[in-house]
Chain A
Amino acid sequence: MRSSVPTRPPRWKQLPLAARIAIGAIIPLAILGLWQFIIVLDVIPSYRLPSPTAVVLAGVDLYQRGLLGIHIAISTQRVLIGFAIGSLVGLVVASFVGLSRIGTLLLAPTLSGIRSIPSLAWVPLLGLYMGINEDSKVTLIAIGAFFPVYTVVSHALRNVDPQLLEAGRAYGYTGPRLLSLVQLPAAVPSVISGLRLALAQSWLFLVAGELLGASMGLGFLLTDSNNNGRIDRLFLTILLLGILGIITDALVGVLERWLLKRWG
């Protein structure tokens, strides 16, 4: 449990920001250097490995065509909406299942059954009933975001320290007040890690959704480039997906600090 005794931050956090960034950049820069080195050696033909310059130029070309922004924007939008819906529903259902016995008995078996179906298996059904459009893609991402949040949070709520609950009840808290003042705060670290997992899962499902029928977005760009043999664009897309993943994960980090400050 989080204690109120102030602890010293770990030593690495005492390093100046610039130094931390520099250390973190060592491996990416080394990979970039190795990549360029392989290109200079000319051991892998360019149709199998584009040069870093070619990848940058592919990005510039797409930007000049006015396409790069659209692909990034639509994919980010799909992820954020799907993630928001999926994780909210996940939190609500997890609270119900984690806190009430009847919820557990009623929902847990069905949900664990559904969870064990690889969620990508839903893709053809979503296309069939919702059409190939924003709705089906966002729904797929929401499904992807739902389960990590549901699993982690319901488990955490079920295992909140009974003594804390006793104390809460002693103060006269019940139902929603007990949930918002005692149980959820105790589960905050789990909520955060559930959200983190859900976000990573959202990007995964975005690509899956866009691979199977799309006219824009990074997953589309990936398939389109592969079909056309434009591997410079292929590499660009993969890099962009990585960078966007890091950025959105950092946003969850901001949320984490805020939540911990409020409830931690």
Chain B
Amino acid sequence: MTRKITLAAVATAALLVLTGCVAGEGSNVAPKPEPEATLPGSWSSDVLNIDFATYNPLSLIIKDQGWLEDTFGDKVTVNWIQSAGSSAANDALRAGSIDVGSTAGSAALLARSNGSPIQAIDIYSQPNWSAIVVGANSTIKSAKDLKGKNIAANAGTDPYFFLLQTLDEAGIGLDEVTITQLAHADGKTALEAGTVDAWAGLDPLMSASVVNAGSKIIYDNPDFNSYGFLNATEAFLTKSPDIAQVVVSAYEKARAWAAENPDEAAQILADVAGIDIAIAKSVLLDRTALDIDPKPGAKQEAVLTIIGPIFVESGAVASQDQIDDALESLFNTDYIDDANPDLIG
């Protein structure tokens, strides 16, 4: 009996060894699989690590249509990595594991203020993506009722700064509420389970919660949102301006494509986010403006100038000087000026 079990265990172990290691998500230590084209050809690098996110519809379109892959052919390997939120994207940019990442404008400013060398090369959307949401049976009716409540939010993202601005406007101090640190998706779960009183939500999760769980939006303010920033690391821009140019051109092609094919764009969002097509349409068509000036400039600066001091007050950034310096160097308009969507694909 015992011998049989031992044999079975050894056989299973042997099977696991024979099937070999799976590649996983890449490693700096383990040897990399040889790319099919080892010669960079006419490109400055043979790999592009770029993120996609449900809060960045243009990234989903580019990924879905395969424009980057078509443009680079087999000369440049395109690695798509999903970002769960701005803070996750910033984390990956800081670590150098992605070259290009999507964050809220507020999060980009925060990262740059704290020393992360990133620059905004394109504005992908003007979203109304954040709001304060409460459960279906909540007695909370307005922002003023948040006093003394437990609110879920993900620090370092737009909904978090939306919450700070909301509390500020309602005259509620940070010591008068409990802000529970949860990733966006976990915050939604916690709200629906009733373990927190309110949630600083992010679309499309938020719209899904409103439709599916009957959650209620109690405070909404488009001016508190800080645009969607496409950021690249300075190291990447220095080494591969040609590839960065292709990325920005692809974004502009996606912007035009989304305007012409709103239903297909909504379908792509619905598929990736795992949400109903009706919710995807309401997020994309009612709550997100893609048809905006993609060049980072005065409008974004105006919003960020308001948000900046909140960073200092909440302790996320040590001094206002760091914010001023970051704001001065955050925008890079070289690529959007030269964008040519016709060269893509």
B131 to chain A, nearest CB (A): 20
Task: List residues of B (186-241) whose CB comes within 8 Å of A's CBs.
Answer: 186, 189-190, 193-196
Interface residues of A in 72-120 (CB under 8 A from B): none
**Contact pick for A213, options B91, B114, B181, B315, CB 8 Å:** B181
Pairwise interchain contact B195-A127, C-beta atoms closer than 8 A = yes
A62 neighbours in B (Cβ, 8 Å): 315
Given contacts A127-B190, A226-B91, A227-B87, contact A215 B115 (CB under 8 A): no
Chain B residues contacting A45 (CB-CB under 8 Å) are: 115, 117
Q: When the two chains form the complex, which single residue of B156, B194, B196 contacts A229, counting CB atoms closer than 8 Å? A: B156
Verify B179–A127 contact, CB threshold 8 A. no
Complex contact B116–A47 (CB within 8 A):
yes
Tally of contact residues, B, Cβ under 8 A? 32
Query: Which of B114, B194, B195, B196 contacts A47, CB < 8 Å?
Result: B114
Q: Across the interface, which residues of A come within 8 angstroms of B7, CB to CB?
A: none
- B103-117 interface (Cβ within 8 A of A): 110-111, 114-117
Query: Known: A48-B94, A220-B181, A224-B181. Contact between A132 and B196, CB under 8 A?
Result: yes
Q: How far is the CA of A83 from the CA of B298 in the complex (A)?
A: 55
| From B91, B117, B195, contact of A132 by CB (8 A) | B195
Q: Bound state CA distance, A226 and B154, in angstroms?
A: 11
| Complex CA distance for A212 and B255, rounded to whole angstroms | 36
A2 within 8 A of B: no
- With both beta carbons as reference points, the residue of chain B lying nearest to A54 in the complex is identified as B318
CB B102 to nearest CB in A, in angstroms, measures: 16
CB <8 Å contact, A213 and B94: no
Interface residues of A in 42-65 (CB under 8 A from B): 45-48, 61-62, 65
A224 in contact with B152 (CB, 8 Å): no
Tell me whether A213 and B316 are in contact (CB under 8 A). Answer: no
* Complex contacts, A224 vs chain B, CB 8 Å: 155-156, 181
Q: How far is the CA of A128 from the CA of B186 in the complex (A)?
A: 11
The reply to whether B94 and A131 form a contact with Cβ atoms under 8 Å apart is no
Contact B110 A213 (CB under 8 A): no
CA distance A231 to B195 in the complex (A): 30
Q: How far is the CA of A127 from the CA of B185 in the complex (A)?
A: 14
8 Å CB contacts to B: which residues of A1-38?
Answer: none
A227 touching B180 by the CB < 8 A rule? no
Q: Which residues of B contact A131 (CB under 8 A)?
A: 194-195
Closest Cβ neighbor of A128 among chain B residues? B193
The answer to whether B115 and A228 have CB atoms under 8 Å apart is no
The CA of A61 and the CA of B317, in the complex, are separated in Å by: 11
User: With an 8 A cutoff between CB atoms, is A214 at the interface?
Assistant: yes
Asked if residues B182 and A227 are in contact (CB atoms below 8 Å), the reply is no
**Closest CB in chain A relative to B57 CB, distance in Å:** 23
Q: Contact check: which of A61, A67, A229 meets B116 at CB < 8 Å?
A: A229
Contacts of A220 in B (CB 8 A): 181
Q: Which of A212-244 contact B (CB under 8 A)?
A: 212-215, 220, 223-224, 226-231
- How long is the Cα–Cα vector from A46 to B94 in the complex, in angstroms? 11
Q: Note all chain B residues with C-beta closer than 8 A to A226.
A: 87, 91
List of A residues within 8 angstroms of B117 by Cβ = 45, 47
Residues of A within 8 A of B119 (CB): none
A212 adjacent to B186 (CB under 8 Å): yes
- Best-surrounded residue of A227, A230, A231 (most CB of chain B within 10 A): A227
Chain B 142-162 per-residue mask, 1 if CB under 8 angstroms from chain A, else 0? 000000001010111100000
Residues from chain B with a CB closer than 8 A to the CB of A212 are 182, 186
- Report B-chain residues with C-beta under 8 Å of the C-beta of A223: 155, 181
Is residue B82 within 8 Å, beta carbon to beta carbon, of the partner chain? no
In the complex the two chains form, what is the Cα distance from A226 to B88 in whole Å?
A: 9
Selected A-B contacts with CB under 8 Å, 11 pairs: A45-B117, A47-B114, A47-B116, A132-B180, A213-B152, A214-B181, A224-B156, A226-B91, A229-B94, A229-B110, A230-B114
Q: A67-B315, A212-B186, A214-B180 are in contact. List 7 more A-B contacts (CB 8 A).
A: A62-B315, A213-B152, A213-B181, A215-B180, A220-B181, A226-B91, A228-B155
Binding site for A on B (CB under 8 A): 87, 90-91, 94, 110-111, 114-117, 150, 152, 154-157, 178-182, 186, 189-190, 193-196, 315-318
Closest 4 pairs between A and B when the two form their complex, measured CB to CB? A47-B115, A227-B156, A227-B87, A229-B114
